Amino acid sequence: MDYRLKILFIINLAVSLGFAVSDAYFSLYAGSIGARGLMFAFAVGGYFAAKIFFSPFTGMLCDKIGSGRMIMASTAVYSIIALSYVFFNDLLIVTALRILQGLAAAMFRPVILASAGSLAPRTRRASSMGAFDISFYAATAAGPLLGGIIRDTFGFSGLFLLLSALCISAFAASVLYALDAVERVSSDEDGTSFSDVIKNPVVAALLAFIFGRAFTISALCIFLPIYLEQTMGLSPFRTGIVMSLSTIVMIVFLRPMGVLADRYPKNLMIISGGLYTGMLLVFLPLVESYYGILLICGLVGVFSAMSQPACSALLIEEGERMGLGKTAGVFNGALNLGFAVAPLAGSLILSFLGIRFVFYFAGVSAMLAMLVSSYLMISFSPVEADI
């Protein structure tokens, strides 16, 4: 692995772990300082709105000023936010910081993906991106557990001190990366617009895929614990095992699936992984045994890993032609839109039809998204689509 890719791995791991530790308990923290009703909605919703709205524009900015500067700027903003959480507990300030955190995420996520993709060897791009994605998913898996230990011992201040240390470490690593970074991630000389990016059939197919994937991930994270404890009567410990299993399995399979994606059609792996994941969600409420649920969640991890490296590699290939930062920014916006829509749709379905129908709806939605993605892939030239 290129040493610059290793630096990016460390940066992504530090930032992802820091916010996985703190974000898992942010709703409890917001409640402890008086967030209720509309203010709570602003704190939570403003964060997602900022990520959705700003991602395409920060990706475009990356194409113009270079990845090194953008990564350094975003990690600097992250560090300021983290330190501010330590010193301020006023509700209005925390709400503003949360929205600013969404802006920083919009700056960071597309650029780190674009930068990693530009450094990955062309012949091993999927396997390299699969290995790189471990930095995010490992942090996501470990963060809530580590955060729980720290919160029990040091309280919320301990969470924010750890977040500060990790963000400052990421900023220091980003300075090292910026010293040797290519000034421009993509030349973007053809003046490609956002509409041109979205109209590209492969990019549009990837947007449909990632929206469906984000929708299913969000639905599982929010509503599966409710189903496991209230419907199946599982203990919190068993619920925790189920919730962590798919991520752990995905981490294990990311690199092997990336190797396969370097050798076999990427579009086929993306669509197959997405369709099977949607089917598993439809079957989940029909399984009444604990071990059956474990099996389904484990398979969700396998098929998620099947899609992820292939998706990242194909996105990078298209982004190199249309502006890598801009393409990654649009992609990140669709990802966050899926994360934001799932809780709203799921809550309405839960209120009117019950918890089981949340999973039916999420699974069917994921499969429909894959059908749209498949149609767009088929409409594209087989050679260009890397078949």
192 pLDDT higher than 70:
no
236 pLDDT higher than 70:
yes
Residues 6+ apart with CB under 8 A from 230: 355
- Name the pLDDT band for 380 (thresholds 50, 70, 90): low
327-362 pLDDT per residue, tens: 888 888 889 888 888 888 888 898 889 889 999 999
* pLDDT score at 199: 81
Whether the Cβ atoms of residue 214 and residue 339 lie closer than 8 Å to each other:
yes
Query: Which residue intervals of the chain are DSSP H helices?
Result: 3-23, 26-32, 37-65, 67-87, 91-119, 125-178, 194-199, 201-226, 236-263, 266-283, 290-322, 324-352, 355-378
385 pLDDT higher than 50:
no
384 pLDDT higher than 70:
no
* pLDDT score at 298: 93
* pLDDT score at 283: 92
* pLDDT score at 252: 92
86 pLDDT higher than 60:
yes
* pLDDT score at 164: 95
- Name the pLDDT band for 226 (thresholds 50, 70, 90): confident
What 8-state DSSP symbol labels residue 288? -
User: Which of 83-97, 119-133, 317-331: highest mean pLDDT?
Assistant: 83-97
- Name the pLDDT band for 387 (thresholds 50, 70, 90): very low
- Name the pLDDT band for 188 (thresholds 50, 70, 90): very low
- Name the pLDDT band for 167 (thresholds 50, 70, 90): very high
